[in-house]
Structure formats: C-alpha cells, structure tokens
Amino acid sequence: MSTASLVMASSAAQAAGTVAGTDIVNVAQATYDAPGGGTPVTIDSNVVTIKVDELLDVTVVSSDPGDVIVSPGWTAQVLTYQVTNSGNGSEAFTLSADTARPGDEFDATFEMVILDSNGNGVYDPGVDTIYTPGTNDPVLTPDESITVFILSAIPASVEDTERAEIELSAIANTGSGTPGSIFAGQGDGGGDAVVGSTGARDADGGYFMVQASDVNLVKSATIIDPFGGSEAVPGAVIIYQLVATTVGTGDLDNLAIRDEIPADTTYKAESITLEGAPLSDAASDGDAGSFDSGSIAVALGTVPGGQTRTITFQVTID
C-alpha cells in the first residue's frame, strides 16, 4: 500500500498559519491630480511577491487513557499514539520506537510499528499497515494526523505492578534541529523550510503495567470419629478444607479446584460446600460443584487478585 492510500484522521491541532508555498502579493499605488485640473492619475508600484516558507513542526501524543494492562509472556500488545503535522506544509515523517527507557521497571520487546490504514483508531491485524522507515513514511498535510500503534512482547519474567515505557518519536524528513534553522529551497511549495518551535521532531511515551496473579492452595483435614473424638479409625469422617487465595493485582480466569478422593475412603454424597454454601454433586445442574470418577471439582470462574475461596467436602474412612 502506498503512503498516499493511507487514511489520515483529522486532528484538533492548529497548523502554523498560512500554507507553505502561498504567494503574498502586494502592489502600492500613488495618485495625483493632473496638471491644470485634469483627470486624477493613478500609478502602480512594482509587484512585490513573497512566498511563504514551510515551517517544520510535529507533535506526538500518547492516545491511551492510562497504562495498558498486560500479563507476563503476552505478545502483540498495543500502545497507541497520534502523530500530527503542526507545521504549514505537506511533510513526511520518519517514526521510531524506543523500548529502553530510563526509569521504568522492565523493557518490553519491540515487535513492530503499525500505521492505522483505515483511520478508525483501533489496531486491526491484517488490515493496518506495517511501517518500514524510508519506505512508507507517513506524509501529512498541515493539521493532519495519523494514529500509530507500537506492538511489543512482554517478558515472562516480569512481576506484578511493574511498568514499562515505550516512546514513539517522529522527525520531519526535510530536516530538524534548532528552531529557526533554515533548509534553503527545500520547503513545500518551493520556498525555504524553517525549523519550528518543536525542532521538527517530537516524542511521547506510553506505558504498559503488569497485572500478574497466582493462586496459593492450602489443604487441611479435620477428623470426627464415631466415638466423638478425632481418631482416624474406620467409620471416622474426614472433613477436608481447601483454601484458594489469589495473589497479585490481576484476575485469574477459569480457576477450578479438583481433589481426588483418597484410597481407603468413601466420598460422602452431596458434601461439597463453597464459602459454606452447599453444592450438588451433579455436573449439569448449573452450580459450581460436581463429583465424578472419584474426584470432586469446583469451578470458581474469574477470581480477582487478593481474594480467597474456601471449599470443603467429606469422606468416610472404610
């Protein structure tokens, strides 16, 4: 896909005044009365034409409303930016991503920069265009913007609440440098190109934040023997308690607990409880519990980090 075919999103930014290449034309006039009271005479000065030079300016802004939440080992994670030509001429910009930012807590692994081809502001795999510097640098008219995505992988070794910054930079292809620097004859429309207040380059950072979770599972047993004591004799009931505690700030999805009935014991039917509430043994009745093939199971679903679920069930010693 050519650069010209990219759909550019409009921006609220205001470009730097009159469009580059515009001719400012001025003619002065003088009038006087002809000698002897004749018809007044008007004469024109020479024409002075000044071509408006191109002002090279660009702004880069992260479009994400806050940190983008990720988990260890995830790939193709997206940060979103908007690049706006805040100069007054049509200009191409070279883009680059920096994942090795100082001051953050881990470095994401850069995968690619993507241009928002259909202008909807959302990364669409297989639709949006992979960016290759020098090949499809986005060309923006004054005030025009394009949404840019940076895709990254999250290392498996990251820990809960750690953050990583990724910076997107844009630089005008005509040139950059100290504001006021001049590139003679290189401006859009045939004038000079003059570096604006941004230095014709800008950058902004977006952030990933890790939400990682794990579960601690602790099992304990209470024995009630037929004589009112706590001896493990035949006929005694063992009440097993399973306490699942999620650790971290993220959610654990599809958390399920399963426990096999020990040898030399018999499961006590309909004895499963979750948070003290009874669950049935049937797998198809819609509640979270079931007993099948010598095991009890409880489907806990999505459990946020830092929460506890308590399960009990009973067996009888044979």
CA nearest to 21, candidates 58, 52, 49, 46: 52
CA nearest to 212, candidates 99, 304, 309: 304
CATH of domain 53-210: 2.60.40.10
Tokens 């590139």 sit on residue:
183
- Residue 7, pLDDT > 90, answer no
Residue 103 binned pLDDT confidence (cut-offs 50, 70, 90): very high
Looking only at Cα atoms, what is the longest distance across the chain?
142
- How far is Cα 4 from Cα 141, in angstroms, rounded to an integer? 11
Contacts of 95 (CB under 8 A, 6+ apart): 83, 113, 131, 133, 137, 138, 148, 168, 169, 170
DSSP 4: G
Arithmetic mean of pLDDT, 221-235: 95
What is the predicted pLDDT for the residue at 14? 54
DSSP 118: T
Residues facing residue 311 across a β-bridge? 242, 274
- How far is Cα 251 from Cα 303, in angstroms, rounded to an integer? 6
Sign of the dihedral through C-alpha 294, 299, 304, 307: negative
The type of residue at 190 is G
**What residues does each domain of the chain span?**
53-210, 213-317
Domains 53-210 and 213-317 share a fold: yes
- How far is Cα 168 from Cα 203, in angstroms, rounded to an integer? 5
% pLDDT > 70, the chain: 95
Where is 146: in which H helix or E strand? strand 144-153
Q: Could you tell me the fold of the domain covering 213-317? A: Immunoglobulin-like (2.60.40)
106-133: pLDDT as tens digits: 999 999 999 999 999 999 999 999 999 9
Residue 251 binned pLDDT confidence (cut-offs 50, 70, 90): confident
CA nearest to 171, candidates 100, 97, 245: 97
Q: Whole-model pTM?
A: 0.75
Contact in structure between 55 and 16 (CB atoms under 8 Å): yes
